[in-house]
Amino acid sequence: MKKVGIVTLGCPKNTVDAEVMAGFLREANYELTSEARADIIIVNTCGFIHTAKEESIDTILEVARWKESGQCRYLIVTGCLVQRYPKDLARELPEVDAFLGLDEVPHIAKICDALMHRRSPEVQAHRLSLNLVSQGAYSSTYLYDHETPRLNLGPRHTAYVKIAEGCDYTCTFCAIPSMRGLFRSRPLPSIFQEVKTLAAQGVKEINLIAQDTTAYGKDQGKEVTLFRLLEELVKIEGIEWIRFLYAYPTSVRKSLMEIIAREPKLCKYIDLPLQHIDDRMLKAMNRPSSSKKVRELIQRIRETIPGVSLRTSFIVGFPGETEEAFERLVEFVQETRFDRVGVFKYSKEEGTSAATLGDQVPAKVKDKRYRRLMKVQAAISLEKNQALVGTRQRVLVDGVSPETPLLLVGRTQHQAPEIDGAIYLNEGQTEQGRLEEVEITKAYTYDLVGRIL
């Protein structure tokens, strides 16, 4: 059989794109395999910030060396990096046989066929069509549905479901709208049917994703909302946990908090990217919120959803961030005691308005602030984990630990896959995908150890 390997970088939204490509390839009788056995390797790239772009380029060059040594025959590059820099990539990477933007995901099998059958004019025409796209003038419009073929590339008991794509906000640091396009959401019945199908396949955990998940349905009328979607999804038999990621702070309504509090299937977990707390920084980032509103929202969430886990992310070193502004951020993290915090050093991205701002923060200062904030949160995280020792937790078992076959690994409802820490199980036997009662026996900064009861 024709063999294809897919290397996916970046966020869960990219993972879904890769799984859709895998579905189209399987329908076209391709075997999905490891990169070491593949005739064609697809590198699905991320183009969000500088470090992600570097990782993507390094991966492409590594696979290109495999191609030169005869380990694979063809190399295809897809994803956000292609969407953002089609001309530059085509010029600088002649070793790549084809580039596909985000809207061309459904054509992946056609391009693979053209390569395998050496229909070079067709491939070359496709490659050149991307070269002619004006950089920054092309944003995606594609969005899959429940009838789109899809192959889950991760553990069979958990899945991401993309409920919307694109973003209408104009945060000054972010290039996502120029790549992923304007906000557009899937019809509620399509999402319901996809989740129902996943449940029939043995999936127990659903993670709803989008660039702006809480805006779901705003383009479909007042009756379609994230609240309404969750109301329907909790009815599906077989699904045990439902979590949504990326809640925009100004869109978390009272009704949304209340349904999370009362529905057992909805994880008591809210991912609330805040980016900063200093009002001047929020304004410079074009975030439609304020320090006062953020604090009020966090208080309402904690009052409405007992035991909720709050995750957030911050940017340090944004242009014009003073020591005073950074100290306000540190104090806010110390006071609020988030359960999870991600910290990013500001990345100056072409095509964003923040890239043109003066008063850029030196790299050494960014590094120092990054380390300081991470150290503050690490102490909080360790204290919170230590408080769990001796408690009993319901844990979804992900399988054998990638670190050692001697341990199983799992997560509570307060730990999102691939994002948060995990629980390593050193006593007891069970199977992947089972929900088990676990006693926590040891705590580390981000991970826990427990025994199956």
Is 149 a member of any domain?
A: no
Q: What is the pLDDT of residue 136?
A: 41
Domain, as residue range, for 359: 272-386
Q: Which of 331, 365, 386 is the last residue of a domain?
A: 386
Q: Which two tokens stand for residue 188?
A: 């509620």
Is 136 a member of any domain?
A: no
Q: What is the CATH classification number for the domain harbouring 201?
A: 3.30.750.210
Q: What is the pLDDT of residue 222?
A: 86
Q: What is the pLDDT of residue 133?
A: 43
Same domain (yes/no): 243, 341: no
Cβ atoms of 305 and 257 within 8 Å: the answer is yes
Same domain (yes/no): 119, 41: yes
Same domain (yes/no): 276, 260: no
Same domain (yes/no): 13, 125: yes
Strand intervals (E) in 297-422: 309-316, 340-345, 392-400, 408-411
Same domain (yes/no): 440, 342: no
What's the CA gap between 294 and 215, in Å, rounded?
18
Q: Which of 345, 370, 386 is the last residue of a domain?
A: 386
Residue 136: count of CB within 10 angstroms of its CB: 13
Is 443 a member of any domain?
A: yes
Same domain (yes/no): 290, 255: no
Lookup result for tokens 């999905």:
32
Is 146 a member of any domain?
A: no
Q: What is the pLDDT of residue 139?
A: 65
Q: What is the CATH classification number for the domain harbouring 357?
A: 3.30.750.200
What's the CA gap between 297 and 293, in Å, rounded?
6
Is 202 a member of any domain?
A: yes
What's the CA gap between 153 and 404, in Å, rounded?
21
Q: Looking at residue 109, what DSSP letter applies? A: H
Q: Which two tokens stand for residue 379?
A: 């102490």
Cβ atoms of 341 and 333 within 8 Å: the answer is yes
Q: What is the CATH classification number for the domain harbouring 438?
A: 2.40.50.140
Is 142 a member of any domain?
A: no
Q: What is the pLDDT of residue 132?
A: 36
Q: What is the pLDDT of residue 278?
A: 98
Is 276 a member of any domain?
A: yes
Same domain (yes/no): 27, 109: yes
- Which has the closest alpha carbon to 140: 167, 117, 158? 167
Same domain (yes/no): 45, 112: yes
Same domain (yes/no): 173, 111: no
Same domain (yes/no): 289, 408: no
Same domain (yes/no): 86, 104: yes
154: left (phi over 0), alpha (psi -120 to 50) or beta: beta
What's the CA gap between 288 and 282, in Å, rounded?
8
The ranges of the chain with pLDDT < 70 are 119-139
Q: What is the pLDDT of residue 291?
A: 97
What's the CA gap between 105 and 103, in Å, rounded?
6
Kindly report, residue by residue over 47-89, the tens digit of the pLDDT: 988 999 999 999 999 999 988 888 889 999 999 999 888 888 8
- Which has the closest alpha carbon to 49: 355, 289, 340, 370? 355
Q: Which of 267, 297, 313 is the last residue of a domain?
A: 267
Domains held by the chain: number: 4
Rounded alpha-carbon distances, angstroms, from residue 45 to 72, 84, 272, 435: 19, 11, 25, 33
The secondary element (H helix, E strand) that includes residue 331 is: helix 323-336
The secondary element (H helix, E strand) that includes residue 43 is: strand 40-45
Same domain (yes/no): 21, 124: yes
- Which has the closest alpha carbon to 321: 383, 370, 254? 370
Query: Number of H helices and number of E strands within the chain?
Result: 14, 18
Burial of 425 (0-12, 13-18, 19+ CB in 10 A): buried
Is 359 a member of any domain?
A: yes
